[in-house]
Amino acid sequence: MGGDEKYCSLGPFNLGYAIAKLEELEPGVYVAINGKVFSPEEVMKVMSEARFASIFNK
């Protein structure tokens, strides 16, 4: 990226979303990204689309 380009990270949103979901979820490990929560067993990275998805909703 060049110096004049703007970069918008979703990191702060994803972190805030994960923290907000702490009250709703059972203790454990989760992936919280783009307004969705996944269990580690059900999440996959769709490399061709640069996104995360549930293995149940291919």
* Per-residue pLDDT tens digits for 5-16: 677 788 899 999
Structure-block tokens of residue 53? 């998805």
Residue 1 reports pLDDT greater than 80: no
Structural domain includes residue 35: yes
Cα of 10 vs its chain's centroid, Å: 9
* 35 strand-pairing partners: none
| Domain total of the chain | 1
Task: Report the alpha-carbon distance of residue 52 to residue 44 in Å, rounded.
Answer: 6
User: Cα-flanking dihedrals φ and ψ of residue 21, to 5°?
Assistant: -75, -10
Can you read off the two tokens belonging to residue 44? 């996959």
SS3 43: strand
Range of the domain at 25: 11-54
Confidence of residue 3 (pLDDT cuts 50, 70, 90): low
Closest CA to 29 of 17, 19, 40: 40
- Within-domain flag for 44: yes
